Amino acid sequence: MKQDQLKTYREMRDFNRTTEPSGGAPKRERGKNPRFVIHKHSSKNQHYDLRLEVDGVLKSWAVPKGPSLNPRDKRLAMPTEDHPLEYAEFEGVIPPGEYGAGAVIVWDFGTYANITRKVGKILSMDEAQKDGHISFQLQGEKLRGGFALTRTSTGKDERWILVKKNDQEVDLDTDILRVEPYSALTGRTVEELTREARGGGRRRPQE
């Protein structure tokens, strides 16, 4: 049942404590391009979360080193639980003691196109995910062009790698994560969000 797609997500969180969305039933936005979002998540181990809209939920991978514009960089991507579509706009600080405690910003967002092919035929996202190879084209605020996710191991320790495809959006000289640390939604950094949550607001000059 599709309704159960968010069961794991909900079971992992206490919505009386976290400001993350609990999410309704998976929503299908027919006729629109599917969305993608990359969160920067300053939890115990800082990482990026790549999320692709598929069948009304956000399929998710935690990418410890984040995306790269260099096709030679193979970035580990570990699948995590499906998130509700509403999560695409989520920014905030998950309180201490809660799952994923720490600041989350929308590092990039936009739409994507599935361009996965197998023997000349376009696979659906569902088929591509099962097959272990997803090719997609991003139209984001920061990231553009082709990327590929490829599964390298299955089972409990399932792992994928995220790689930039070779196209005109390749940039060997720019560390996009360093150059663009800001939220694509609000312009804030995870450090600023963390300070705000501590009650300090923006740091003021000393009196």
Chain positions contacting Mn ion, by CB under 5 A? 41, 49
Long-range contacts of 48-53 (CB under 8 A, 24+ apart): 48/107, 48/177, 49/80, 50/77, 50/149, 50/162, 51/83, 51/87, 51/88, 52/112, 52/125, 52/134, 52/136, 53/29, 53/85, 53/88, 53/112
For residue 74, give Cα distances in angstroms to 107, 170, 186, 188.
Answer: 20, 14, 29, 28
Q: Which is nearer to Mn ion, 10 or 165 (CB)?
A: 10
CB of 25 to Mn ion, least distance (A): 23
The residue number with the shortest CB distance to Mn ion is: 41
Minimal distance in Å, beta carbon 60 to Mn ion? 8
Distance of closest approach, residue 123 Cβ to Mn ion, in angstroms: 27
Q: Which is nearer to Mn ion, 61 or 182 (CB)?
A: 61
Provide, rounded to whole angstroms, the least separation between the CB of residue 39 and Mn ion: 6
For Mn ion, the closer of residues 70 and 189 by Cβ is 189
